[in-house]
A and B are shown apart, each in its own frame.
Chain A
Amino acid sequence: MVLNESVAIVTGGGRGIGRAIALELAAAGVKVVVNYAGRSDKAEETVSLIRQAGGESIAVQADVSQAADVDHLVQMALEHFGKIDILVNNAGITRDGLMLRMKEADWDAVLATNLKGVFLCTKAVSKGMLKQRSGVIVNISSVVGLSGNAGQANYAAAKAGIIGLSKATAKEFASRGIRVNVVAPGYICTDMTETLPEGVQNEILQTIPLGRIGKPEEVAKVVRFLASPESAYITGQVLCVDGGMEM
């Protein structure tokens, strides 16, 4: 496999889309550092699934919005696997609410994890990637970052911010052989979307041309593509995996 012997960090890799990405990369021969913030049981589960399939993986706790935590995460990855080739910034939270009701704390929390976290992790891995003159960063945005969504001003702002950050980083690092791309999932079946009321879910289905909710694995396969040399001539792009919602 083309990704054999590479090392990846997947933030928020314990569950949902992050877990699917961790498993998909591991299946391609990548050694995966599964980062998690709070649910160590879920992260350990992801690690066990990878090991059972014959892959190599460790779980590392880190709040990506804290620089010291992120430095620890990168340090652990280097100690265990010696290098970092792939960074998947997937960690994300939601604190939905209508603008009039949105608390400042909800805004801050979502921006801190979903956007500042991407900055901190990118910065922390970039030193090594610049030195080795290679590296791949895949940032998980959302179709909401392109289209907006009522009740998600904070989430939409952070996810749109990821796109600008990714393009700036792609331009800055292109001459050093480092590619940066964005995957923007639509509605994907995870804990995050399962909590939506049934009425809302039905409404959402009406807006998806392909007529169904997506699977985490369908996002993971695109991440694997963007992480592999198969996409060697692609950088600074946003790829929507959303059943055709955004076109």
Chain B
Amino acid sequence: MGVFEQVKAIVVEQLGVDEATVTQETSFEELNADSLDIVELIMALEEAFDMDIPDEEAEKIRTVGDAVNYIKENK
């Protein structure tokens, strides 16, 4: 499974959204995630990919694609 598919699966589970609504361009805001949802999502990504995402980096992650790119570049 590629990084996008993995991130997508986590987003679907964490935010309880339909798989079909999640693309690279989808922002978490569009998926009705509030600020606590996003913090929890970042925590789930950190755990799944066994990495630390610093707060100042996490703030820049607004879309599914942002998350995928950050993980690819820093993993």
A-side interface residues toward B, CB under 8 Å? 127, 130-131, 172, 175-176
- Note all chain A residues with C-beta closer than 8 A to B40: 130-131
How many residues on the B side are at the interface (Cβ–Cβ under 8 A)?
A: 3
Total cross-chain contacts (CB, 8 A): 8
Q: Which of B31-63 contact A (CB under 8 A)?
A: 36, 40, 43
Instruction: Say yes or no: A172 contacts B43, CB within 8 Å.
Output: no
Question: Interface on B for A, CB 8 Å cutoff?
Answer: 36, 40, 43
Q: How far is the CA of A127 from the CA of B40 in the complex (A)?
A: 8
Closest Cβ of chain A to B57, distance in Å, is: 18
Nearest CB to that of B34 among chain A residues? A175
8 residue pairs bridging A and B, Cβ less than 8 Å apart: A127-B43, A130-B36, A130-B40, A131-B40, A131-B43, A172-B36, A175-B36, A176-B36
Residues on B with beta carbons closer than 8 Å to the beta carbon of A131: 40, 43
Q: Within 8 Å CB of B36, what residues of A?
A: 130, 172, 175-176
Q: State the Cβ distance, B10 to closest chain A Cβ, in Å.
A: 13
Q: B43 contacts which chain A residues (CB < 8 A)?
A: 127, 131
CA distance A32 to B43 in the complex (A): 27
